[in-house]
Structure 1
Amino acid sequence: MTTEFPDPSTGFADLSGSTALVTGAGSGIGFACAKRLAAAGCLVHVLDHDERAATAAANEVDGRTHVLDLREDSGVTRLPTEVDILVNNAGIQHVAPIQEFPTDVFTQIQQVMVTAPFLLMRHCLPHMYERKWGRIVNISSVHGVRASAGKSAYVAAKHALEGLNKVAALEGGPHGVTSNCVEPGYVRTPLLEGQLAAQARENGIPEHEVADRVFLRHSAIKRLIEPDEVATVVGWLCGPGSDYLTGASIPIDGAWTAR
C-alpha cells in the first residue's frame, strides 16, 4: 500500500481506503485516535466495553460500533479481520500495594492489556500480511519502562506489551507490517481521573495536589498530556515517512525518562 504525503491544509496523511480498529475508543486516547484516523480517510471500527460511549464515538467519526469487554477473549474472533491499522489502546487501572492487590484484578489487567492485544494481532495480521502493508500501534506508557509503587499489575502489563510489540515488529517486517509503542506520561483521560482518590490515599495528600505532586513530579513539562497529542503521534506512525520505524517505543513524557 502507498500513502500520500500530508495535505498541508489538514496535516493528515491520506489513508483513504484503509480500515482501522481502535480499542478503548469510546473516550480518551482511543477516541482521539479514532478521530485522527477518520480525518485521514480511514474507516474506523470503534471498540469499547461501554455501548453508549462506543456508539457516540462511532457516530462522530462515521465509523462502526463494536461493544466488547476485553476481559473476555471469546468476542475477538467476531471482529472484522480486514483491518489495516490496529491501535491497541484499551486499559484499566487499579492502585494498591502488592500484598493488598486483588489477584482477580491483577489477572484482568493482564487480560485487557496483554492478552487482548495478542489476540487482536493474531486476528488481524493475516490480512495485513496478505496486503503487504499494515500498522500496529500499541498505546503503552512511561510505565512500560519505569515503575511506580502501587501499580504492580499496570506496570507488569505495559512491560509485557513492550515485549510483544518487539516480536510483532520482527515477524511483521518482512511482510510490510510495522509495530510500535507510544509511551505517554500522564494523559488527561477518564482513566487518570479515576486514579485521583487512590493516589491521594496512597500518598497521604489531598486530591487536588495529586497532579502536581505525583503525576507531574518527574516531568520537565509541568502539565498533563492531551489525548490529541498522543493521537498525532499515532497518526504519524500510520502515514508516510514511518515505513522503516518498527519495534520502537516513542516517549511522550515531557522528558520523564530522560532522567
Structure 2
Amino acid sequence: MTDLTGKTALVTGSVQGIGLAVARALAGAGARIALHGLADAETAAEVSAEITALGAPEVRFFGTDLREPERIDRMMADLAEWGAVDILVNNAGIQHTAPLADMPRETWSAILEVNLSAAFHTMQAAMPGMAERGYGRVVNIASVHGLVASVNKAPYCAAKFGLVGLSRVAALEYAAQGVKAKGGVTVNCIAPGWTETAIIEPQVAARAALHGGDRDVGIADLLAEKQPSRRTSDPSEIGALALWLCDPVAHNVTGTTIPVDGGWTAQ
C-alpha cells in the first residue's frame, strides 16, 4: 500500500466529487491534507472531520477564490509555513455550456482562470520546493475534453487542452529532479469521462427531460453517444488512480494524460 506519511497534499475543489474522493484516498495513506473549496463553515468542518477520521494526521481548509492570483499566492505562502506541499492535485473546475456565439465573455474568463490559470499559479509556487526535496507529485484533473472537443464547451475545452499542455511542459522541466528511491518529481493528468459528479448534473437533467424525467434513461442516452462502456465512473476510482501516481513506484510516469473514459478517446 502507498504510504504518504510525512507528506502534505493540497487538493483544490475538494469538498465534493472527484476532489473529495482524491482527498479521501490520500488521507487514507497518511498524508496531511489541505482541503479547498468555496464552502460554508459547516460544510468545511464536516469534510475536515471526515478526512481526519480517514487517517490524515492534520487537516486545514482554504476557501480561496481561484479567480484571484493574489489570493492563491497567499494560500500557497500559508501552506509553505504549515508544511511544504509535496502533492498538488489541481481539481477545482467550473463549466458552462453554450454555443461559441452565445458564450459570455465573463464566463470564458472565469473558466480559464479557475480551470487553467489557477493550476499554473499553484504549480509555479509548489514545484521548486518539490525539486529541492527530491519528491513531488502534481496530478492535474483534466478531462476527455482536454483530448477531444465537444460542441458548446469552448472555454472548458480550451482550459482542459491547455492544462494538458501545461502539464507536459512542467513534466519535462522537472523530469530529472530527484532520485528513484525518493520518487522524483512527476506531473500527470487524469482525464475522466462521464463521472458521477455535480458538474454533469445540468447535462443529465437536460437529457432526462427528453425522456419524461427518467434520470437513468437520460444517463444511458448521454453515454451512448460517446462512452463505449456505457458506464459512468465513480469519483473513488479517480481517487485510487491519483493515489497510485503519488507512490514512489510511479517515478517514471510523467508527462502523461491517463483517460478514465470507457473507451471514449480510443475511438
State the shift of 1:206 in Å.
Answer: 5.5
State the shift of 1:257 in Å.
Answer: 1.1
Alignment of 1:55-134 (within 5 A): 55-62=45-52, 63-79=59-75, 80-81=79-80, 82-134=84-136
Distance 2:196 2:172 in 1: 33
Give the gaps of 5 or more residues in structure 2: 53-58, 178-183
The root-mean-square deviation of aligned C-alpha atoms, in Å, is: 1.6
Distance 1:70 1:206 in 2: 38
Change (3 A) 1:20 1:96: same
Contact 2:194 2:227 in 1 (8 A): no
Alignment of 1:13-32 (within 5 A): 13-32=2-21
Letter in structure 2 aligned against 1:19: T
Give the gaps of 5 or more residues in structure 1: 1-5, 7-12
State the shift of 1:56 in Å.
Answer: 2.1
Contact 1:18 1:42 in 2 (8 A): yes
- Percent identity over the alignment is 42
Distance 1:100 1:87 in 2: 32
Distance 1:119 1:55 in 2: 26
SS at match of 2:69: coil
Distance 1:190 1:75 in 2: 25
Distance 1:36 1:138 in 2: 16
Distance 1:206 1:140 in 2: 32
For each residue in 1:89-130, what CA deviation from the matched residue of structure 2 results, as whole angstroms up to 9, or x when unmatched? 000010100011111001100000110000000111122111
Selected match of 1:54 from 44, 49, 65: 44
Partner of 2:180: none
Contact 1:22 1:30 in 2 (8 A): yes
Partner of 2:176: 174
Distance 2:149 2:223 in 1: 13
State the shift of 1:205 in Å.
Answer: 6.3
**Higher normalized helix content (fraction of residues):** 2
Distance 1:200 1:69 in 2: 32
Distance 2:233 2:224 in 1: 10
Partner of 1:251: 259
Alignment of 1:1-40 (within 5 A): 6=1, 13-40=2-29
Letter in structure 2 aligned against 1:31: L
State the shift of 1:51 in Å.
Answer: 3.2
Give the TM-score taking structure 2 as reference length.
0.87
Give the TM-score taking structure 1 as reference length.
0.90
Change (3 A) 1:149 1:104: same
For each residue in 1:190-244, what CA deviation from the matched residue of structure 2 results, as whole angstroms up to 9, or x when unmatched? 111133345678xx66653442222442222112110000101000000132100
| Matched positions, count | 246
Query: Which range moves more in the overlay, 142-151 or 69-78?
Result: 69-78
